[in-house]
C-alpha cells in the first residue's frame, strides 16, 4: 500500500465508477474528503445523485480524483462501510493498491503496441552478473511518457528502465540507451489481456540531447505506423 494520502479535510473529490483500460472514466459525482482513519482507509461524504444520497455498492470499485498543489491525483477504493456521525453520514473507503498521479501533458499520446523490455538496477543479477529484463508492451507513447502492459507490480514513485525495440532500418528507429521512467500509476489489466497489469511512466531524461533523440524515435514510430 502506498503511504499516507496527500489530501486535507474539506478537499473536493470528483468520483467515477472504474472502467476498463482505454475507456475514459466519467467523474460525475462529487464528494468531500472528511479524514483519514489509517493508511488504508478514509471517510468521504456520501455523494448525491439526482439530489439524493447514493446507495453504497461494496462490490463497485471507485476512482476518486482530487488536486494537491499543481498535480492531479486519482486514488481507487471500495466502500467498506457507511458511518454515521451525528446527523452526517460518510462512506468509509478502503483503498486498493493504486494511486495514479496525473501531470499536465503537453505531448500528444499515440496508441501503438511496441514490445519492449524493462528492469530495475536494484534487481539481483544472474550468475553471469547480468540483470535479466522482463518483457512488456506499450499501450500508448508520447515524447514524455507512456502507458505499458507488464506482469510485475511496482509502487508509485519507483523508477524503472525501459529498453525500446529497433523499428525499421533508419538510425532514428533505434535507441542506444535505456530510458528511465517514474511510475505514476498502476492498475490491473483488463480481463483477457496477455499481461496482468498496466502502468503509466513519466520519463526522466539525463539531458536535453537524450530527450531530443527520444523525440526523433517517437516521431519516426509515428510516421512509420501512420499514427
Q: Give the pLDDT of residue 2.
A: 46
What is the arithmetic mean of pLDDT over 201-213?
A: 93
- Residues whose CB is less than 8 angstroms from the CB of residue 223 and which lie 6 or more positions away in sequence, other chains included: none
Q: Give the pLDDT of residue 170.
A: 83
- Residues whose CB is less than 8 angstroms from the CB of residue 214 and which lie 6 or more positions away in sequence, other chains included: 143, 175, 179, 203, 205
Task: Report the distance separating Cα 114 and Cα 167, nearest Å.
Answer: 9
Tens digit of pLDDT for each residue in 26-72? 899 999 999 998 878 899 999 998 889 999 888 888 999 998 766 77
Which cell is 173 given? 528507429
Q: Give the pLDDT of residue 165.
A: 96
Tens digit of pLDDT for each residue in 80-99? 899 999 999 999 998 886 54
pLDDT level of residue 1 (50, 70, 90 thresholds): very low
pTM of the model: 0.57
Closest-CA residue to 215 (of 142, 148, 157): 142
Q: Give the pLDDT of residue 103.
A: 42
- Residues whose CB is less than 8 angstroms from the CB of residue 65 and which lie 6 or more positions away in sequence, other chains included: 13, 14, 15, 16, 27, 72, 73, 74
Which cell is 119 given? 528492469
Tens digit of pLDDT for each residue in 145-178? 999 999 999 998 899 999 999 998 888 899 999 9
Task: Report the distance separating Cα 224 and Cα 109, nearest Å.
Answer: 15
Amino acid at each position: 500500500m502506498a503511504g499516507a494520502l496527500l489530501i486535507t479535510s474539506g478537499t473536493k473529490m470528483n468520483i467515477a465508477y472504474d472502467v476498463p483500460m482505454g475507456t475514459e472514466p466519467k467523474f460525475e459525482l462529487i464528494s468531500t474528503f472528511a479524514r483519514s482513519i489509517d493508511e488504508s482507509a478514509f471517510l468521504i461524504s456520501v455523494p448525491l445523485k439526482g439530489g439524493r444520497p447514493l446507495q453504497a455498492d461494496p462490490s463497485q470499485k471507485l476512482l476518486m480524483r482530487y488536486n494537491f498543489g499543481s498535480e492531479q491525483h486519482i486514488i481507487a477504493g471500495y466502500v467498506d462501510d457507511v458511518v454515521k456521525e451525528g446527523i452526517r453520514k460518510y462512506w468509509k473507503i478502503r483503498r486498493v493498491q493504486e494511486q495514479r498521479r496525473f501531470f499536465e501533458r503537453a505531448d500528444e499520446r499515440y496508441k501503438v503496441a511496441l514490445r519492449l523490455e524493462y528492469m530495475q538496477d536494484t534487481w539481483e543479477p544472474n550468475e553471469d552478473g547480468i540483470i535479466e529484463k522482463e518483457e512488456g508492451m506499450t499501450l500508448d507513447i508520447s515524447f514524455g511518457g507512456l502507458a505499458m502492459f507488464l506482469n510485475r507490480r511496482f509502487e508509485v514513485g519507483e523508477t524503472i528502465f525501459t529498453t525500446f525495440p529497433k523499428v525499421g532500418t533508419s538510425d532514428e528507429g533505434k535507441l542506444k540507451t535505456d530510458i528511465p521512467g517514474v511510475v505514476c500509476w498502476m492498475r490491473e489489466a483488463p480481463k483477457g489481456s496477455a499481461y496482468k497489469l498496466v502502468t503509466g511512466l513519466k520519463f526522466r531524461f539525463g539531458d536535453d540531447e537524450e530527450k531530443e533523440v527520444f523525440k526523433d524515435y517517437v516521431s519516426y514510430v509515428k510516421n512509420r505506423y501512420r499514427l
